[in-house]
A and B are shown apart, each in its own frame.
Chain A
Amino acid sequence: YAITHNNPRWSKTHLTYSILNYTPYLPRAVVEDAIERAFRVWSDVTPLTFERVFEKEGDIVLSFHRGDHSDLYPFDGSKDHFAHAFLPAPGMGGDVHYDLDQKWTDNSENFNLFYVTAHELGHSLGLSHSNDEEALMYPSYTWSNKDFVLNQDDINRIQALYGPSTNPIQSTGASLDVCNSGLTFDAITTYRGEVIFFKDRFYIRVISFLPEPMINMIDLIWPTLPGKFDAAYESSMVDELRFFKGSKVWAVQEQNVLEGFPMDIHSYFGFPSNVTHIDAAVCEEETGKTYFFVDHMYWRYDENTRSMDPGYPRLIAEDFPGINHKVDDVFQKEDYFYFFYQSIQHRFNLQTRRIDDSGDFSTWFNC
């Protein structure tokens, strides 16, 4: 999308930056950290390196201004226009300006300094706006409090200017290599006969009649759910999926998050207050019993009576021989619980109460 005339870019890959002044709304250290993380968004995917300088003006100067500050783009304290930046060039080129009268935050409230800085630095490095709604360089700020991952469109365009990063660990953006043997998952669940794996902001749907898994963004189905779940399970008797993150639980039916959620796992399931998160969960369809795995212990919850069974927690290894470690993910398929720990899966036979197969997970994806 060539709107930036003759594609201005920096001719060097090592750039310096300086911070001229600060916003009264955030501690200095928080401002400096937000700006440092914003630079890292771009250095992660290009050969560019950024160094903060103190005694002199950097190639890129970041500063807060009030009203007209004599650069043709006056601020007015409103939400119409509160940050801008200049394309690569000597002098004011590359500089980032913020509205001093705007409320800057480091959380989900408007406006998040890290996110706006990452966007403006895109201009500082030569990028124009993108027409990809998911892109960081989309003209409107689309910040949400999820874990930020640079979009593939942004990666493609900045690498068109500076080339790929020399760092072997590439940020994958909108693509995920499910055959990467080092891959681990945030959560796995079944849903109406499918198996859905969750990683960062992506879901991977394994549908029996499709040769390859479907990979896409969780946002597309559940825009209000956070990414990076801890656990998920299907409560098939009520056709619900339940997602866990920290001490919160979300219940969804198809694309709809049920009213009143997220709820607290202590009040909803009756966990003791010292349980701060759930590692993995699975509901045994035949019995209606849901198993919650936390560290080396597990609880059992009766979906019909909606109460925890007495006599729990118990040691996982005692009742699931061979599962002698924490459980990252678990789901049921036919007579088996599939336990995942790091990138290994164990198939636990619910009849014989033994592991009858172990290996890596790639068979699910026809790697």
Chain B
Amino acid sequence: FPVIQDGLQKNVKTVWKYLENYYNLGKDMQAKNVNSKEVMAEKLRQMQQLFGLKVTGNSDPETLNAMRKPRCGVPDVAP
């Protein structure tokens, strides 16, 4: 996961689970010949745009913070 800056395992799980739950990450990853790095960064950019965060495509601290806040279970991006 090259887009993860701080490399902590827990953060990896947080990001993956969050994008899977709310940004359709899992389903997009199943397509063939997918550049997983780019897909991940694109999902992060979508999330950062919706949350009004700096759009970096990286799981920077602000993004991780936003992901840890209590939130609604409805996905931000419907399949």
Which A residues lie at the B interface, using CB under 8 A?
Answer: 1, 3-5, 73, 79-85, 97, 110-111, 116, 119-120, 123, 128-129, 131, 133, 139-141
B2 within 8 A of A: no
Q: Which residues from chain A contact B52 at a C-beta distance below 8 Å?
A: 131, 133
Closest chain-A Cβ to B72's Cβ sits at a distance in Å of 6
Is the beta-carbon distance between B76 and A139 smaller than 8 angstroms? yes
B7 within 8 A of A: no
Complex Cα distance A3/B24, Å? 13
The 9 closest A-B pairs by CB, nearest first: A84-B73, A140-B69, A81-B73, A140-B71, A131-B50, A139-B71, A84-B74, A129-B76, A123-B74
Q: Which residues from chain B contact A81 at a C-beta distance below 8 Å?
A: 21, 71, 73
Which B residues lie at the A interface, using CB under 8 A?
Answer: 17, 21-22, 49-52, 66, 69-74, 76-78
Complex Cα distance A119/B51, Å? 16
Is the beta-carbon distance between B72 and A119 smaller than 8 angstroms? yes
Closest chain-A Cβ to B18's Cβ sits at a distance in Å of 8
Is the beta-carbon distance between B49 and A131 smaller than 8 angstroms? yes
Is the beta-carbon distance between A4 and B70 smaller than 8 angstroms? no
Complex Cα distance A342/B77, Å? 48
Complex Cα distance A120/B69, Å? 17
Is the beta-carbon distance between B77 and A139 smaller than 8 angstroms? no
Complex Cα distance A5/B75, Å? 12
Complex Cα distance A81/B69, Å? 10
Is the beta-carbon distance between B78 and A139 smaller than 8 angstroms? no
Is the beta-carbon distance between A82 and B69 smaller than 8 angstroms? no
Complex Cα distance A1/B51, Å? 12
Name the CB-closest residue of A to B69.
A140
Is the beta-carbon distance between A3 and B78 smaller than 8 angstroms? yes
Q: Which residues from chain B contact A83 at a C-beta distance below 8 Å?
A: 72-73
Is the beta-carbon distance between B70 and A139 smaller than 8 angstroms? no
Q: Which residues from chain B contact A80 at a C-beta distance below 8 Å?
A: 17, 21, 70
Interface residue from B22, B51, B74 paired with A131 (Cβ < 8 Å): B51
Interface residue from A3, A73, A123, A140 paired with B70 (Cβ < 8 Å): A140
Q: A3-B77, A139-B51 are in contact. Are A120 and B70 (CB under 8 A)?
A: no
Complex Cα distance A114/B66, Å? 22
Q: Which residues from chain A contact B77 at a C-beta distance below 8 Å?
A: 3
Is the beta-carbon distance between B73 and A3 smaller than 8 angstroms? no
Complex Cα distance A133/B49, Å? 12
Complex Cα distance A123/B74, Å? 8
Is the beta-carbon distance between B70 and A5 smaller than 8 angstroms? no
Q: A81-B21, A129-B50, A140-B66 are in contact. Are A3 and B76 (CB under 8 A)?
A: yes
Chain B CB within 10 A, most for which of A110, A120, A129, A139: A139
Q: A131-B50, A131-B52 are in contact. Are A141 and B71 (CB under 8 A)?
A: yes
Given contacts A5-B78, A97-B73, 18 further A-B contacts (CB under 8 A): A3-B77, A3-B78, A80-B17, A81-B21, A82-B70, A83-B72, A84-B72, A123-B74, A128-B76, A129-B76, A131-B49, A131-B50, A131-B51, A133-B52, A139-B22, A139-B50, A139-B51, A140-B72
7 of the cross-chain contacts (CB-CB < 8 Å) are A79-B70, A81-B21, A129-B74, A139-B22, A139-B72, A140-B51, A140-B69
Is the beta-carbon distance between B51 and A141 smaller than 8 angstroms? no
Q: Which residues from chain B contact A141 at a C-beta distance below 8 Å?
A: 69-72
Complex Cα distance A141/B71, Å? 5
Is the beta-carbon distance between B50 and A4 smaller than 8 angstroms? no
